[in-house]
Amino acid sequence: MARLLIMFIALTIFTVFSVSGKDLRFAVVPKFYSVFFDQSKSGCQDAASQIEGIECVYRGPEKASVRIQDQIIEQLINEGIDGIAVAVTHSKFLAEHSLQKAKKAGIPVITYDSDFNAPTLEKYKDLRLAYIGTDNFEFGRALGEELKKLRPNGGTLIIQTGRPDSPNLNLRIMGVRTALSGKTYDTPPGKSLQNDRGWTEVREPFFNFDQLTRAVKQMESVMKGKPIQADSFIAVGGWPQNDEDLYRKMIAPYKGKIDRKEMVIVISNTSPPQLAMLQDHLAHANVGQSPYEMGRQAIFTLLKIVKKQKYEEVINTPVKFCTPENYYTCTKDLQMNSLKN
């Protein structure tokens, strides 16, 4: 009897320790390593450093691949990770594979930057517990509104995106189209603009599949005006500028077209290299997200979930608007954010 009592006490101590006293490892899994997503690494590491016994594990594919992302998540599960924040590459695939295994293992899952699409959220209601990131529809609207300021009478547009099945990017495209057309669309990405309030998309969006070289080449074809002509370009992600040297080399011959606004360029995100390019008038506007804050909040949210504390199910991180005229302010804000906490 005494032996059973000792075993019960030991088991009770272990259970309490495993919930509230042991080191916790939380994973932040990006779509792929990049200038943008690596800022979420800094955020999660800084947040983890503030809390004793918490570790941030930042792990993702070198290049965008849902299958590799899925394998990484499964590997993390096998390692005994305590919580996962994932930027969703493909909703259905992840929901039906690695994230089902996480759920069965009792590992909490949240999403950041890119949430599941609506059908997946409806089918798997309790698969992810929170979303942290940009309100992607409103972000797309912000991109469209910046373009309207620069070209108020309308024009011809080409949109660049990543994958055609990316839920967050499709929401952004719908936001762009809503801002320019004034229309409401039932489902992302909305309908191509055809003389809507003076705006026409001259082709379907460019899909670069998160390949930076491809993104730059696509943009170069727009700048050349061959074979397709347009006077406005919006990238709903930062791809063409994520390789600064490649972008600068590509855009240099067209600096005059940019200065004369023969081509208006609005691009997502505001990393330090992007702001440097903006200062040099190599784009007209950048609308920035907060990947650093996404990484920070991912750690805090996962910790609250594991500790069974109250947490916010949706945290929309802020955006900012940068132009060559307010470049200094945007740069200063970025530096201040990196020094916080």
**What digits encode the pLDDT tens for the residues 28-71?**
999 999 889 999 999 999 999 999 999 999 999 998 899 999 99
Please give the pLDDT value at position 241. Answer: 96
What is the pLDDT, as a whole number, of residue 9? 36
Distance CA 166, CA 114 (A): 8
Q: Mark the ranges of the chain whose per-residue pLDDT is less than 70.
A: 1-22, 332-341
Q: What does the angle CA 202 – CA 206 – CA 212 come to, to the nearest 5 degrees?
A: 145
> 314 has which bridge partners?
131
With a CB cutoff of 8 Å and minimum separation 6, the contacts of 62 are: 32, 33
pLDDT score of 22: 61
Q: Which pLDDT score, from 0 to 100, does residue 13 have?
A: 35
Sheet holding 24-29, edge to edge: 54-58, 24-29, 83-86, 109-112, 131-133, 314-316
In degrees, to the nearest 5, what angle opens at C-alpha 30 toward C-alphas 27 and 31?
145
**Cβ-count burial 126-156 (b if 16+ within 10 Å, e if not):** ebbbbbbbbbbbebbbbbbbbbbeebeebbb
Domain spans, the chain: 22-134+291-318, 136-288
At residue 192, φ and ψ (nearest 5 deg) are -55, 140
Shared fold status for 22-134+291-318 and 136-288: yes
- Which residue from 285, 283, 305, 292 is spatially nearest to 335, judged by alpha carbons? 292
What CATH class does 136-288 carry? alpha beta
In the prediction, which pLDDT does 12 show?
Answer: 37
Integer Cα distance of 148 and 104 in angstroms = 48
Number of CB atoms found within 10 A of residue 209's CB = 15
22-134+291-318 maps to CATH 3.40.50.2300: yes
Place of tokens 């170069």: 220
State the Cα–Cα distance between residues 67 and 73, nearest whole angstrom: 10
- How far apart CA 107 and CA 49 sit, in angstroms, is 22
In this prediction, residue 333 carries a pLDDT of: 56
Q: Which two tokens stand for residue 101?
A: 């295994």
Burial-class residue 340 by CB neighbours within 10 Å (0-12, 13-18, 19+). exposed
Name every residue whose Cβ is closer than 8 Å to that of residue 156 and which is 6 or more positions away in sequence.
Answer: 199, 200, 201, 202, 229, 230, 231, 232
User: Residue 16: what pLDDT?
Assistant: 32
Bridge partners, residue 235, by sequence: 160, 267
For residues 36 and 18, give the distance between their C-alpha atoms in angstroms, rounded to a whole number.
34
In this structure, which long-range contacts are made by residues 148-151, counting pairs with CB atoms below 8 Å and at least 24 apart in sequence? 148/179, 148/180, 149/285, 150/261, 150/264, 150/266, 150/284, 150/285, 151/231, 151/232, 151/261, 151/264
Q: Where are the beta strands (DSSP E) in 30-154?
A: 54-58, 83-86, 109-112, 131-133
216 CB neighbour count, 10 Å cutoff: 20
Instruction: Name the DSSP letter for residue 225.
Output: T
pLDDT at 4: 40
pLDDT value, residue 64: 86
